[in-house]
Chains A and B, each alone.
Chain A
């Protein structure tokens, strides 16, 4: 499997001006393919900057980013979902928004129509919204359209910036199901920058912790049980973990569930 390697990467913006700011400081790690990876950290920790470097929108001030197979990284097919989905929209209708990338990659009209219809079903949108202006959509629908607009051209790596902001529990569950489908069926590498520890605990294969421009630790979701470590990054332990630990302290035997529905079943079995 190919890895994406960050080698002593630093990012400084507004260099040699009074507003000079270090966004990333000497980051070195690698990202494996065909996994769902969360980059967790509080505000200003540099999560969005990592995604922007991966997508090629910014270049590192120092260090290099490359594939382990030594192929040119910039040619890797990457889709990037912005934190504010409305920042991605510039077409008149949702259909034009979804079809834009395919027109650029010289797809035929029939193929574009087919892909648009498939992708809106995949993200859970109705056909009626294809005629609407994307700037007039609700936040939830805007996120779906933005996600659809990057999935439609089948990128190998999908970068998601704070995808769960403003979403209710049911919508988050739909996002989780969709991302698992993209990983398992379509073999995508999905990298999520988020502050949502609960979402990250449910969905991630690997977690990368960031704090104030520096890379702290990498591991499985087990590292999200470390209260002290998460405190240094300005985060809290997932609610489901703190509930299970408290239940165990009170003598209720529970396994390490990640999903709330499985937890409820487990609690029912233990108590009754």
Chain B
């Protein structure tokens, strides 16, 4: 069965972005989210979008996969803009909010397409360890976070599989009208959800078994070491934060 590439799926090709260190990727994601929440400058957003488009191009993941994921919620995005404009928000602010949503989707796509689930789990665990003052077991938490990210692509591939199964029993989903498509989707939603939950549970148990170690180090694990390209990636994210702080006048307040 051929699975469809979607948000949360790992796309196994070789590229500079695939070889970045997973801890660095998670750290840069957090920096970006801070930037996203506090930045309302259109100029900085354009710089950020240009950088991420460049990252998408060098990731060796076909551009149409990113485009398909961004294009899917187009009606929801248009509805959000419509509601914002109706409630008196300016056009510039509405565009900024739209850019925020789209770039969040892009950065999540870049992260999940170019980082395998094991690496992502490792990266999240090591990043959270920096703040682990209570010495908690973070492997379970990072496992849960990664499985939450993987739920959506697994749901899509399970739904695709179930649609194939019902096609072999006389119900052709793809050659029917919109109303029937809605009815079929409604009928199978619960089963697909239950099957996906079971699969996620199996994956979670397998991952915990693979990551289990008596001597506090991981076995059978591949980690990309911190390289020059990681430094460039990190510097760009730090640049975004510094320009944000400069725009907000934090440096002026500190030194005056």
Q: Which single member of A82, A90, A100 contacts B195 (CB below 8 Å)?
A: A90
Segment 88-109 of A: residues with Cβ below 8 Å from B = 88-92, 100-101, 104-105
Whether the pair A87, B2 counts as a contact (CB closer than 8 A) is no
Please pick, from B2, B161, B170, the residue contacting A101 in the complex, using a CB distance under 8 A.
B170
Q: Is A241 an interface residue (CB 8 A)?
A: no
Tell whether A1 is near chain B: CB-to-CB under 8 Å: no
B167 contact set on A, CB distance < 8 A: 56-57
For B1-20 the 0/1 string (1 means CB < 8 A from A) is 11000000001110000000
Q: Tell me, yes or no, whether B191 is within 8 Å of chain A by CB.
A: yes
A150 contacts B13, CB within 8 Å? no
B203 in the interface, Cβ–Cβ < 8 Å? no
Contact A100 B169 (CB under 8 A): yes
The answer, yes or no, to whether B198 is at the interface (CB within 8 Å) is yes
B170 touches A104 (CB 8 A): yes
For residues 81 through 111 of chain B, which have their beta carbon under 8 Å from a beta carbon of chain A?
Answer: none
B173-193: contact bitstring with A at CB < 8 Å (1 yes, 0 no)?
A: 000000000000000100110
Sorting the interface of chain B by its residue count into under 10, 10 to 19, 20 to 34 or 35 or more gives 20 to 34
The 8 Å CB contact of A149, one of B1, B161, B169, B191, is B169
Nearest residue, chain B, Cβ from A105: B170
Which residues in B have their C-beta under 8 angstroms from that of A105?
170
Contacts of A82 in B (CB 8 A): 1, 165
Would A90 and B191 count as touching, CB distance under 8 A? Answer: yes
A87–B159 Cα gap in the complex (Å)?
A: 10
B141-181 CB mask vs A (1 if < 8 Å, else 0) is 00000000000000000000110111111110000000000
Pairwise interchain contact B13-A19, C-beta atoms closer than 8 A: yes
Closest to B162 in A: A90
Also in contact, A153 and B169, with CB within 8 A (given A90-B191, A90-B192) = yes
Residue from B13, B62, B164, B171 within 8 A of A57 (CB atoms): B164
| Residue among B2, B62, B169 making CB contact with A150, cutoff 8 Å | B169
Q: Is the CB of B168 within 8 A of A79?
A: yes
How many angstroms from the CA of A84 to the CA of B2 in the assembled complex? Answer: 14
Q: Is the CB of B165 within 8 A of A18?
A: no
Q: Does B60 contact A (CB under 8 A)?
A: yes
- Provide the residues of chain A in CB contact with B60, threshold 8 Å: 18
Complexed CA–CA distance, A79 and B169 (Å): 7
Contact with B along A6-29 (1 / 0, CB 8 A): 000000010011110000000000
With A18-B13, A90-B195 known as contacts, the answer to whether A100 contacts B62 (CB < 8 A) is no
CA A13 – CA B2 in complex, angstroms? 9
Could you say which residues of chain B place their CB within 8 Å of the CB of A89?
165
B-facing mask of A67-94, CB < 8 A → 1, else 0?
0000000000011101000011111100
* A interface residue count range (under 10 / 10 to 19 / 20 to 34 / 35 or more): 20 to 34
Tell yes or no: A135 within 8 A of B by CB.
yes
| Cβ-defined contact, B169 with A87, below 8 A | no
Query: How far apart are the CA atoms of A13 and B170 in the complex, in Å?
Result: 25
| Shortest Cβ distance from residue B121 to the other chain A in the assembled complex, whole angstroms | 23
For A79, the chain B residues whose CB sits under 8 A away are: 168-169
Minimum CB–CB distance from A223 to chain B (whole Å) comes to 30
Nearest B residue to A92 via CB reads B191
Alpha-carbon gap, A92 to B188, bound state (A): 11
Question: In the complex, A188 Cα to B62 Cα: how many Å?
Answer: 44
Inter-subunit contact B169/A135 (CB<8 Å): no
A87-B161, A135-B195 given as contacts; is B168 within 8 A of A57 (CB)?
A: yes
- Closest chain A residue, CB of each to CB of B14: A18
A16 touches B62 (CB 8 A): yes
Give the distance to chain B from A96, nearest Cβ to Cβ, in Å: 10
Interface check A55, CB cutoff 8 A: yes
- A91 and B191: CB pair below 8 A? yes
Residues B62 and A88 in contact, CB atoms below 8 Å apart: no
Within 8 Å by CB of A135, from B62, B192, B198, lies B198
CA distance A19 to B2 in the complex (A): 12
On B, residues with C-beta under 8 Å from A are 1-2, 11-13, 60, 62, 161-162, 164-171, 188, 191-192, 195, 198
The interface of chain A, by Cβ under 8 A from chain B, is 13, 16-19, 55-57, 78-80, 82, 87-92, 100-101, 104-105, 135, 149-150, 153
Q: A19-B12, A104-B169 are in contact. List 11 more A-B contacts (CB 8 A).
A: A17-B62, A55-B168, A78-B168, A79-B168, A87-B1, A90-B188, A90-B191, A90-B192, A104-B171, A135-B195, A153-B169
26 contacting pairs across A/B (C-beta < 8 A): A13-B2, A16-B62, A18-B13, A18-B62, A19-B13, A56-B167, A57-B164, A57-B168, A78-B168, A79-B168, A80-B168, A82-B1, A87-B1, A87-B165, A89-B165, A90-B165, A90-B191, A90-B195, A92-B191, A100-B166, A101-B170, A104-B170, A104-B171, A105-B170, A135-B195, A149-B169
